[in-house]
Structure formats: C-alpha cells, structure tokens
C-alpha cells in the first residue's frame, strides 16, 4: 500500500527518511546484533544515542550552558504537575494565560496541587480563536505559564510577554523546532515528542539550572522532581530508549534541512499556501484569527458551519463534515477530523509534512467544494 498523507495532530507523521533508517537498523543497530528496542539503557551501545540526542537539542535550539536538557516520561500532561510542584514554592502563586484546553488543564492541575493560580488573560470569549495580548506580567508570582502553540484551536503566540524576574514557562509540544526560539527568555520549556520530534513516549524538558530545587512542594514524588532527572542524566529509571533513538534521527534530519530556520521557511510556505486558499474560498474558512494563527495546526469549517444551533443546521454541518472526512480518507488524506471543541476539520502540518502534501490536500478540498 502506498503511503498516505497523514495530517494527524499527534502522534504525527515522521520523515520517511528517518523511518527507513530505523527500519534498516531494526534487527541490528550499528553492528551490535540487536535492536535499540531491546538493548540495555546502561550499555555502552546505548549511551552515545542519548548523549547525541541531548547534544543535538542543545545545538539546534541554541540552549545556553546554564540550562539542563532532560528526557522524561508522562507527556505534557505530567508536566502540568511537575511545573507546579517544582516551581510554585516561594509565594505559591502563578500566572496563567488561558488560550485553550491545554493551558486550562495546566492551570487546573496547578490549583489542585495547592498553587494559587491567577488567570491573567483568556481568549475563552471567542472560543480560544486568538491569543490575548499581554505585553508585561508583574507580581509576586513564582512563574508565568503559556502554551505557545494551541493544537486544538490552531493558535500561536507571535510575541512573548515580558516577565522580568518571573520565570516564563511554556508548553511547546506542538511547535518545538518548527521555528527558532530564544531559550534564554524562558525559565522552563517542555514538549511531548509526538508532534515534531519522535513517536509518543518521551517528553523533552529544558530547564534553567537555578530552578532545579532540592525542596519542591511537600510530598512531591521522587520521579516528579526535576532534580532527580538532572542529577542522573535522565537515567534515574529506564528511559523510553527507542523513542529517544528516533528523536535523535529526527534532529539530524532537521539539521540537514536547515535547522530551526530551515523548518520555519518550510512551515511558513506550507501554512501560507493553506491559509491563502481558505481565506479566498467561498466554501471553507479558517477558525483562528489572523495575527494568532498556528503554522502547525490549521482548523477549518465549511459554509454549513454557521454557528446556528437549530437541528437542521447542526445536521447539515455534521453530514458535510462526515462526508468530507470519509472522502478524504478514501483519497489518501488521513486524520482530518476536527476536534469536537472546534468542529469541522483540522490539518496538522508539522515539520515532516511536505509542501507537496499540503498542495495535494488543497486540490482535494477544491474538488470537494465544487461537488458540494
């Protein structure tokens, strides 16, 4: 069977070049006679793999020397708790900007753990279709928290709030290495790997060393202390070895294709092509407002999505969306069903998705619009 165009929001498509390399090494990695899947994480064969992955993150993201790079487990959702437990310890207060589901869940988790959460801005009034402008954050907060790219809503920060001495924490799960990012402006960054870096299973954390504390919030489990992972080079317990191995290969692919700057150029071209089509279409429309649009996730609705709640309108919208997704799958365009909170469709066009794939999608969308 031929490869499909995979527009999944995550786990997402990986570079074919990387998949082929992994397949070729599946039974015998580097002359060891074994797969990376089955080798000991303490072995001399595996040690260079995780060291190379860390070195490539530091290189591609220009990570300053006073930051630790950690590979942990539990996904971004576990980071909601780890951030609160490890950083919310001086005043016990934190500022959150609510721009969608994941920022809201992060705030809720922090509050559950006893942090006094202040939602200083929100875009809930327009179903999170824009990024609220917060130029400066002041106060006695232990940290300020943002979700840099909102996968479900298709929005992205085109600015960073000025936080002064308040450490800025960002969830960059769905935009990591899709563009250059000044790590020094943040106290902590984290990213689930399954969007732009690797298969699901490993979470990247980049944390400024002064934020790694011996005394996190009371009763913090050992595995939820950044200190545990920093002191043990991400090897306190068995890490997700194979996922880190694939991550390393993806990082080398990114380097070969121009690094973060090359990814930005590639992603801007894809996003511009899709948004330009949507903005000039009489049949479709993008849901995210201009000035807040993600380069990675593009939700869109059809002309039947009027927002009316009468039974006839809702039925028409569901029918046309279902038809679109079904016909798209038959044509080789997978995972385009939109999230229930937005409706319609969503095309996730992460680093590994090519311009060819986006152009093919637009051709299908145009054909579908003419027929419906």
pLDDT value of position 218: 85
Backbone angles phi, psi at 129, to 5 degrees: -90, 5
Predicted confidence band at 354 (pLDDT cuts at 50, 70, 90)? Answer: very high
Instruction: Please say if the pLDDT value at position 309 is more than 80.
Output: no
Q: What is the pTM of this model?
A: 0.96
Contact 28, 368 (CB under 8 A): no
Predicted confidence band at 253 (pLDDT cuts at 50, 70, 90)? Answer: very high
Instruction: Please say if the pLDDT value at position 93 is more than 70.
Output: yes
Q: Which residues are known to be catalytic? A: 102, 171, 195
The two three-digit tokens of residue 337, written as one number: 């069903």
Contact 121, 74 (CB under 8 A): no
Predicted confidence band at 128 (pLDDT cuts at 50, 70, 90)? Answer: very high
The two three-digit tokens of residue 53, written as one number: 């992955």
Rounded average pLDDT over 343-351: 95
Predicted confidence band at 212 (pLDDT cuts at 50, 70, 90)? Answer: very high
Spatial distance between the Cα atoms of 30 and 104, rounded to a whole number of angstroms? 44
Instruction: Please say if the pLDDT value at position 46 is more than 90.
Output: yes
The two three-digit tokens of residue 126, written as one number: 């327009």
pLDDT digit string (tens) for 329-339?
Answer: 999 999 999 99
pLDDT digit string (tens) for 132-158?
Answer: 999 999 999 999 999 999 999 999 999
Q: Alpha-carbon torsion 317, 320, 323, 329, what sign?
A: negative
Predicted confidence band at 316 (pLDDT cuts at 50, 70, 90)? Answer: confident
- The rounded mean pLDDT for the chain is 96
Predicted confidence band at 315 (pLDDT cuts at 50, 70, 90)? Answer: confident
Instruction: Give me the helices (H) in the chain, please.
Output: 16-24, 47-60, 75-87, 101-112, 226-231, 241-256, 259-279, 311-330, 355-371
Spatial distance between the Cα atoms of 210 and 65, rounded to a whole number of angstroms? 12
pLDDT value of position 307: 67
pLDDT value of position 1: 64
The two three-digit tokens of residue 77, written as one number: 């959702």
pLDDT value of position 56: 98
DSSP 3-state helix, strand, coil percentages of the chain (rounded to 5)? 40, 15, 45
Rounded average pLDDT over 71-93: 97
Rounded average pLDDT over 127-131: 96
């Amino acid at each position: 069977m031929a490869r499909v165009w995979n527009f999944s929001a995550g786990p997402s498509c990986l570079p074919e070049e990387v998949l082929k390399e992994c397949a070729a090494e599946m039974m015998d990695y580097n002359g060891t006679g074994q797969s990376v899947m089955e080798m000991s994480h303490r072995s001399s064969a595996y040690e260079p793999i995780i060291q190379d992955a860390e070195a490539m993150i530091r290189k591609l993201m220009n990570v300053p020397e006073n930051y630790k790079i950690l590979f942990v487990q539990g996904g971004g959702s576990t980071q909601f708790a780890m951030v609160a437990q490890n950083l919310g310890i001086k005043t016990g207060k934190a500022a959150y900007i609510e721009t969608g589901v994941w920022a809201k869940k992060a705030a809720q988790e922090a509050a559950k753990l006893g942090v006094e959460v202040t939602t200083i801005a929100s875009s809930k009034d327009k179903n999170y279709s824009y990024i609220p402008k917060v130029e400066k954050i002041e106060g006695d907060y232990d940290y300020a928290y943002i979700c840099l790219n909102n996968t479900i809503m298709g929005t992205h920060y085109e600015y960073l709030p000025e936080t002064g001495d308040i450490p800025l924490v960002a969830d960059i799960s769905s935009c990591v290495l899709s563009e250059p990012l000044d790590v020094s402006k943040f106290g902590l960054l984290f990213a689930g790997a399954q969007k732009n870096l690797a298969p699901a299973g490993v979470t990247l954390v980049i944390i400024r060393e002064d934020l790694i504390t011996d005394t996190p919030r009371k009763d913090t489990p050992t595995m939820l202390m950044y200190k545990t992972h920093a002191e043990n080079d991400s090897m306190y317990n068995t890490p997700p070895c194979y996922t880190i191995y694939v991550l390393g290969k993806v990082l080398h692919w990114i380097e070969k294709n121009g690094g973060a700057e090359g990814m930005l150029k590639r992603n801007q071209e894809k996003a511009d092509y899709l948004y330009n089509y949507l903005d000039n279409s009489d049949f479709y429309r993008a849901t995210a407002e201009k000035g807040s649009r993600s380069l990675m996730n593009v939700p869109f609705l059809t002309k039947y999505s009027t927002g009316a709640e009468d039974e006839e309108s809702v039925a028409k919208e569901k029918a046309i969306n279902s038809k679109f997704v079904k016909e798209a799958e038959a044509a080789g365009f997978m995972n385009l069903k939109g999230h229930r909170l937005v409706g319609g469709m969503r095309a996730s066009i992460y680093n590994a998705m090519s311009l060819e794939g986006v152009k093919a999608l637009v051709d299908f969308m145009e054909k579908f619009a003419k027929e419906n």
